[in-house]
Amino acid sequence: MSNPHFAVLPARAALSLSGPDAVAFLQGLVSNDVEQAAPGRAVYAALLSAQGKFQYDFFVTAMQDGLVLDTEAARIDELAKRLKMYRLRSKVVIERLENFAVIAVWGTGAEAALDLAPYSFPDPRLAAAGVRLIAPATFVDDLRAAGFGEATESDYDAHRLSYGLPDGSRDIEIDKAVLLECGFEELHGVDFTKGCYMGQELTARTKYRGLVKKRLLPVEIFGDAPASGTQITLDGKDAGELRSVNGQAGIALIRLDAFDKARIEGLPLMAGAVPLSAWTPDWMTLPSADE
């Protein structure tokens, strides 16, 4: 789909943080510098546990009196409840934006959609991913009228997998994943100079001590796609786990030593009885095999 297309993403929803303390409140909690969020500009960030493990991720953009988060719809109430736990005396109101939809637009000319929606921004992870809109559910009529083609959520899923981009807890395991295993550094989801936030110590230690031993990698599946969660092996030994799948494309958490061995020796990775191959997108930086 090279021409601009849009897809409503029912798996996503919007959470507003309004009030005079909204920016300072979130700044002290998440992995990125939310002071960089502005109308038309978002930052990608994660909320971690105190131990530095993944809890939630989201895009953060600015509104007149605070911030708007584009996050997982199935977990938005959990996220709101968690944020309210940390609110204490901060002057911030946390509530779901009802009757708003999250919409992805991609393809040549997608940027034209940025002037149409109340909250819109280029995907801060990767320009090729397109733009995202947070708008009233009826906004799809405006996109159709503006000449954008209509696609499905599955079409967008295939698009993001073609760039190896993770999709929240479908790909990033809650309470287990470390951000740098999941591309957050290359995808502009961590600021190492912003100051303290919850889970910062493990994130920084992982970077500066070179402790990343696994990575989320895009995979091509040669056969009927196994279920998410299927163990991946190399020579019968554990090599990782398959995460989300769309047709013959997917994302898997793979041990880097297994990835190197499979690549160098030409051995197949196996998800159950189904062979697959992992690859590295252009945006990703992996350590060399001898590091």
Model confidence pLDDT, tens digit, residues 173-196: 999 999 999 999 999 999 999 989
Q: pLDDT value at position 3? A: 77
**Mean pLDDT rounded to a whole number for the chain:** 95
Q: Scan for tokens 């031993």, then name that residue.
A: 213
SS3 annotation, 263-287: HHHCCCEEECCEEEEECCCCCCCCC
Rg (alpha carbons) of the chain, rounded to whole number: 19
Rounded to whole angstroms, the Cα distance separating 271 from 254 reads: 11
Q: Assign 253 to helix, strand or coil.
A: strand
Q: Scan for tokens 């320009």, then name that residue.
A: 127
Rounded to whole angstroms, the Cα distance separating 71 from 30 reads: 14
Rounded to whole angstroms, the Cα distance separating 186 from 16 reads: 27
Structural domains for the chain: 5-161 (3.30.1360.120), 168-278 (2.40.30.160)
Rounded to whole angstroms, the Cα distance separating 19 from 90 reads: 9
Q: pLDDT value at position 113? A: 92
Rounded to whole angstroms, the Cα distance separating 242 from 100 reads: 32
Rounded to whole angstroms, the Cα distance separating 67 from 34 reads: 9
Closest-CA residue to 142 (of 121, 119, 115, 122) = 115
Q: What is the pLDDT of residues 227-251, one digit of tens each?
A: 999 999 999 999 999 999 999 999 9
Q: pLDDT value at position 288? A: 61
| Residues sharing a CB contact under 8 Å with residue 54, sequence separation 6 or more, in sequence order | 46, 48, 169, 172, 173, 174, 175, 176, 177, 178, 179, 182
Q: pLDDT value at position 291? A: 45
C-alpha distances in angstroms, 226 versus 159, 252, 263? 20, 12, 22
Q: Do the Cβ atoms of 33 and 188 come closer than 8 Å?
A: no
Task: Answer positive or negative: Cα dihedral of 31, 80, 176, 103.
Answer: negative
Length of the chain: 291
Rounded to whole angstroms, the Cα distance separating 250 from 247 reads: 8
Report the alpha-carbon angle 216-220-225, nearest 5: 100
| Residues sharing a CB contact under 8 Å with residue 105, sequence separation 6 or more, in sequence order | 4, 5, 6, 113, 130, 131, 132, 133, 143, 148
Q: Mean pLDDT of successive 10-residue segments in the chain (291 residues)? A: 86 98 97 97 97 97 95 98 95 96 96 91 97 94 94 98 98 97 97 92 88 95 96 97 97 97 95 96 80 45
Q: pLDDT value at position 116? A: 86
Q: pLDDT value at position 213? A: 94
